[in-house]
Amino acid sequence: MKFDWRNNRDFFAGIMYISTGSAGWWIARDYPFGSALRMGPGYFPIVLSALMILFGIYVLLLGVRNNEKIQGNWSIRALIVLPLSTVIFGILMEEAGFIPAMAALIPISAAAGKEFKWGEVILLTIGLTIACAAGFIYGLGLPYPLIKGMWGY
């Protein structure tokens, strides 16, 4: 079979390992290496990075030989929306409080899926926000203001 790099699973896995190892080596190059007797902080990282690069080359060659393809579908939408919803939750927790953070997180993350029904999502948001506030803030005593700037917080 002729080598084809597109969608080649192990080829890309190899590249990922080699680049991780190289980056690890590059950053750790200034850490004192030490000796086997007295290992410096650079010893373990450099040895591991070297190992990663070696493994990476093997996996890359494996990909050149077996041409295995990456399986399954991608959801670009989920790939962008889900991490984004996590980040927005983080920002709102610091800036606006628990209720706004939940009210943003749930609809946004729900929008990562293919089916999105407004009615359902609104009910889910209200239900989960109340349940989580009751369980985590009142039940377990986590010290988060429901809405920042209200009730003396």
Considering only residues 128 to 147 of the shown chain, the ones binding another protein according to CB under 8 A are 128, 132, 136, 140-143
Residue 150 binds to another protein (criterion: CB under 8 A): no
Question: Cβ contacts of residue 34 below 8 Å, gap of 6+?
Answer: 40, 41, 42, 43
CB of 140 to another protein, least distance (A): 5
Per the CB < 8 A criterion, the answer to whether 53 and 18 are in contact is: yes
User: Could you say which of 5, 40, 122, 147 contacts another protein (CB under 8 A)?
Assistant: 40
User: Could you say which of 2, 35, 138, 151 contacts another protein (CB under 8 A)?
Assistant: 35
User: Could you say which of 22, 33, 64, 112 contacts another protein (CB under 8 A)?
Assistant: 112
Residue 73 binds to another protein (criterion: CB under 8 A): yes
Amino acid at 20: T
Two structure tokens written together for 114: 């293919």
N-terminal to C-terminal alpha carbon distance within the chain: 67
Reported as type and span, the H/E element at residue 98 is helix 98-110
Residue 90 binds to another protein (criterion: CB under 8 A): yes
Of the pair 51, 150, the CB lying nearest another protein is at: 51
